[in-house]
Amino acid sequence: MKKRKAKAAALAPAELANNFTRGLVATGLVAAIQDRWTEGAQSNRKVLRLALQGGAALASGIATAESLRRGDYARAVLALAGGALGVVATEMLLNPPTRRPAEEVEVG
């Protein structure tokens, strides 16, 4: 008889939370310290945005890699899409659109 390949479960929520926290802390440290002496202090909002995006990207990357290793391609695509959604949502919520100066706005 042929043995069926057992479908492996996704990463446990605790593992995802740990990976997110690792990415959050690592990216937050880099964002807070990077270019501090040349450009001055980063805004707290920018540091938070980058830290959250780093956490989402790391958790998504690890979940995607683990799913690919197990051969679960559908779950890998979902993990990748979830990470992209997290990064984009954070960007939209914490990075307000820049306004163009009045002289650059086309009239007519």
Q: How far apart are CA 89 and CA 53, in angstroms?
A: 9
Is pLDDT larger for residue 2 or for residue 65? 65
pLDDT in tens, 5-44: 545 566 788 999 999 999 999 999 998 888 777 767 778 8
Total domains in the fold of the chain: 1
Q: Could you tell me if residue 103 is inside a domain?
A: no
pLDDT in tens, 51-84: 999 999 999 999 999 999 999 999 999 999 999 9
> What pLDDT shows up at residue 1?
47
Conformational region of residue 79, where left means phi above 0, alpha means psi within -120 to 50, and beta covers everything else: alpha
> What pLDDT shows up at residue 4?
46
Q: Could you tell me if residue 85 is inside a domain?
A: yes
Tally Cβ neighbours within 10 Å of residue 60: 24
Interaxial angle between packed helices 13-33 and 44-70, expressed in degrees from 0 to 180 and rounded to the nearest 10: 140
Q: Could you tell me if residue 61 is inside a domain?
A: yes
- Supply the range of the domain harboring residue 77: 13-97
Q: Could you tell me if residue 88 is inside a domain?
A: yes
